[in-house]
Structure 1
Amino acid sequence: MQLSPLASGVQGVLRANELAADASSRIAQAGTTNPDQDLVTPVVDLLRAERLAEASARVIETEQRTLGSLLDVRA
């Protein structure tokens, strides 16, 4: 099953959102429920989510530019 670039980009943004929400939750819980919890891992995961969202947005932008160029050529 092949996904379109747009679908892949949207899927990446959604996954980044999930990763960021999970990492943020672990960061918030570290100060309240478990003060000895490691903060490095959730902060790194938060940065990974940011990079995934940026890369996915670029995929969507590139797909839109390519589609626009194809439509311009076709018109």
Structure 2
Amino acid sequence: MMFMTPTRWKHFAAMTLIGDGVMALIHPQKDALAWKKGPKPWQRLMGELHERPGLTRVIGAAQIAGGIWWALRQERED
């Protein structure tokens, strides 16, 4: 992965945003727990999202929209 071009990195990042957004929509509590590792403030945030599946789904939908927007923007730039 170290030898990926900037274009491929951007594609990979958009794909990751879209995929994680879908996971948040399908099972928001599992998605929040999957990201709970890290510094204490991050763990608290993910704990809050685990307790608020509706908010997690909204964030997931925003990730999907942002990932699609980014992918379409990159397509126009290429």
Q: State TM-score, norm by structure 1.
A: 0.47
TM (normalized to structure 2)?
A: 0.46
